Amino acid sequence: MKGNILVIEDNEQNLYLVRFILEKNGYQVHAAMDGKTGIDMAVQLKPDLILLDIQLPVMDGYAVARNLRANPQISGIPIVAVTSHAMFGDRDKAMEVGCNGYIEKPINPDTFMEEVELHLLKQ
Amino acid sequence: MFEMVARGDADAAVTNQFYGAMHARKYDLVDTAVVFEPSALFFAAPKNASPELLDAIDRHLSILKKDTRSAYYAILKRWTSEEVRFKFPAWLQIVFLIVGVVLLTSLAGSFVLKRQVNARTFELKKINREMEERIIDRTAELALAMEKAQAADRIKSAFLATMSHELRTPLNSIIGFTGILLQRLGGPLNEEQEKQLKMVYNSAKHLLNLINDVLDISKIEAGQLNVASETFNLRDAVEKVIKTSQPLADNKGLKLSAEIAPEIGTIRSDRRRVEQILLNLLSNAIKFTEQGYVRMTCEVRSDKIVIAVSDSGIGIKPEDLGILFNAFQQIESGITRKYDGTGLGLSICKQLANLLGGKIEVESEWGRGSTFSLILPLEGEKA
């Protein structure tokens, strides 16, 4: 197993897709369908990387990122924002709240793993 | 008159008070009390005149006053009603007449004028008041219209953000799953399955590009597209876009090449947007070239970085150069709609180049090919 990746994503198809690619590439995937569960799982599992969707119900991705960064136990885990909400400085906002990277949806299957592994390697 | 009184030829004289006072002393005369209504004075007598004479005069006067045709009235008439003999000279009369007429006319004129001025002033005040009211109304209308436009703009932005999300989510599945199937992550594929999946994959990517173009132009028009300022290696960026465009050129059998001058290194700009412009210029060049080559050159010219994309394609007619960069307009290229696209690509490129502090220049000869150059400022360059 290459590493543990926590995917916080509320859309089942997207989750299935990301999980499929990551698992086929040799990673163990943990999934959370909402922000609150995601934070709990991050604290509990201490994954090597968190893939974070920005459009989440109740608590959005920015709030989740802020929350994760505020917790000293897990503040070192790299977070990569994944969002289709590519408007009005989303990238800047994601970086501002503590994300390490930004992947725009729809994901490009040819480059997705490259981008994910770039952040794993940095760690 | 004074001499006659002084000599004793006359007992008394009637004269103007001041004239009298002025001359009386000169002739050694004594003035009487002042009579204020000399016209009521008919006869006068010395203080020591005989009473019989005065009585007789009184009596005669009473008789004379009873008869209107008497000598008394004849004399009175002569002194009071007789026309004044003094006459102004004719020329003076004419002058007076003219002056009078002029004065009267001007008086009448000024009266009419004054009335007109008053009427106009009233009218102007009324117009002024109406104008003020209208301005107030219009200002209120404008404020309302502006508010509505701003609200519409907010709704448009929100709509675009939502649409962006809603359109991209299903595309994420389509592109993602066809992508992993083509990568054989889902298992082996036969030749026909691969060919068909590639069609789905390419169509989905094309659809994504169209959505991105529409979103980009909307963001640019709303002034909401911000460019980053980051340091990156321009050589890497150029090599990346060439690599990305290679399959498109291969499909049409075109020779795609890049010449990067040795002085090209890191620059300060927005990498994603520079790549977007170059990819767009390359895909256009490939789209409009049926045979020959597409060549990218990158060099420093005076204080500018010039990245030129030349092709041996159909070129552009001189009359079409003007509308080339207009949004939503694709030049008629002989065969209508032979070349697909939104017609937004070059408009976006031009506006992105402007946002990056640069510009896009075009040179073309109809039937011989075109050269599109992205010119970026060098000032951000690091040694």
Q: Is B68 on the interface with A (CB under 8 A)?
A: no
**Nearest-CA residue of chain A relative to B178?**
A109
ipTM of model: 0.77
Question: How many folded domains does chain A comprise?
Answer: 1
Q: Is B367 on the interface with A (CB under 8 A)?
A: no
Q: Give the domain B230-377 fold.
A: Heat Shock Protein 90 (3.30.565)
Residue B381 C-alpha from the chain's centroid: 43
Instruction: Please determine, for residue B381, whether its predicted confidence score (pLDDT) is greater than 50.
Output: no
pLDDT, greater one: B206 or B158: B206
Backbone φ and ψ for A47, nearest 5 degrees, come out as -70, 170
Best mutation target among B156, B168, B200 (most A Cβ atoms within 10 Å) is B168
Q: Give every CB contact of residue B218 below 8 A, 6+ residues apart in sequence.
A: B156, B160
- What pLDDT does B121 receive? 93
Three-class SS state of B307: strand
How far apart CA B359 and CA B309 sit, in angstroms, is 14
- What pLDDT does A1 receive? 66
CB B153 within 8 A of CB B222: yes
From the CB of residue A9, how many other CB atoms can be counted at a distance below 10 Å? 24
Mean pLDDT of B257-279: 91
Best mutation target among A82, A88, A113 (most B Cβ atoms within 10 Å) is A88
- What pLDDT does B357 receive? 93
**B239: nearest Cα among B270, B264, B209, B213:** B264
Least confident range of B165-174, B264-273, B325-334, B344-353: B325-334
Mean pLDDT of A57-64: 89
The end-to-end CA distance of chain B, in Å, is 128
Best mutation target among A24, A87, A108 (most B Cβ atoms within 10 Å) is A87
Provide DSSP, chain A. Answer: ---EEEEE-S-HHHHHHHHHHHHHTT-EEEEESSHHHHHHHHHHH--SEEEEES--SSS-HHHHHHHHHH-TTTTTS-EEEEES---TTHHHHHHHTT-SEEEESSP-TTTHHHHHHHHHHH-
Q: Is B293 on the interface with A (CB under 8 A)?
A: no
Please list, residue by residue across B339-374, b when 16 or more beta carbons sit within 10 angstroms of its beta carbon and e when fewer do.
eebbbbbbbbbbbbbeebebebeeebeeeebbbbbb
| Domain map (residue ranges) of chain B | 2-80, 87-225, 230-377
How far apart CA B269 and CA A81 sit, in angstroms, is 23
**Nearest-CA residue of chain A relative to B170?**
A106
B136-171: per-residue pLDDT in tens? 999 999 999 999 988 887 787 778 767 777 888 888
How far apart CA A10 and CA A32 sit, in angstroms, is 8
Contact A88 B165 (CB under 8 A): no
From the CB of residue B173, how many other CB atoms can be counted at a distance below 10 Å? 16
CB contacts of A85 in chain B (<8 Å) are 161, 164-165
CB contacts of A7 in chain B (<8 Å) are none
- Using CA atoms, how far residue A100 sits from A50, A75, B41, B166, in Å, is 10, 12, 130, 25
Structure tokens at B108: 């009448």
**Nearest-CA residue of chain B relative to A103?**
B172
- Using CA atoms, how far residue B341 sits from A92, B3, B329, B367, in Å, is 30, 131, 10, 21
Q: Is B174 on the interface with A (CB under 8 A)?
A: yes
How far apart CA A123 and CA A47 sit, in angstroms, is 12
- What pLDDT does B336 receive? 41
Instruction: Please determine, for residue B337, whether its predicted confidence score (pLDDT) is greater than 50.
Output: no
Instruction: Please determine, for residue B331, whether its predicted confidence score (pLDDT) is greater than 70.
Output: no
Instruction: Please determine, for residue A87, whether its predicted confidence score (pLDDT) is greater than 90.
Output: no
pLDDT, greater one: B63 or B78: B63
CATH classification of the domain holding A34: 3.40.50.2300
CB B6 within 8 A of CB B12: no
Residue A115 lies in domain: 4-122
Q: Give every CB contact of residue A66 below 8 A, 6+ residues apart in sequence.
A: A97, A98
Q: Is A109 on the interface with B (CB under 8 A)?
A: yes
Contact B161 A20 (CB under 8 A): no
Mean pLDDT of B31-41: 69
CB contacts of B177 in chain A (<8 Å) are 17
Q: Is A26 on the interface with B (CB under 8 A)?
A: no
- What pLDDT does B295 receive? 95
Q: Is A108 on the interface with B (CB under 8 A)?
A: yes
Mean pLDDT of A45-72: 91
A–B: how many Cβ contacts below 8 A?
69
CA within 13 Å, CB half, B278 = 28
Which amino acid type is present at position B162? T
With 0-12 / 13-18 / 19 or more C-beta atoms within 10 angstroms meaning exposed / middle / buried, residue B292 is middle
Instruction: Please determine, for residue B31, whether its predicted confidence score (pLDDT) is greater than 80.
Output: no
Contact B169 A84 (CB under 8 A): yes
Which position has the token pair 């000599």? B7
Provide DSSP, B335-375. Answer: STT-S-S-S-HHHHHHHHHHHTT-EEEEEEETTTEEEEEEE
How far apart CA B169 and CA B167 sit, in angstroms, is 6
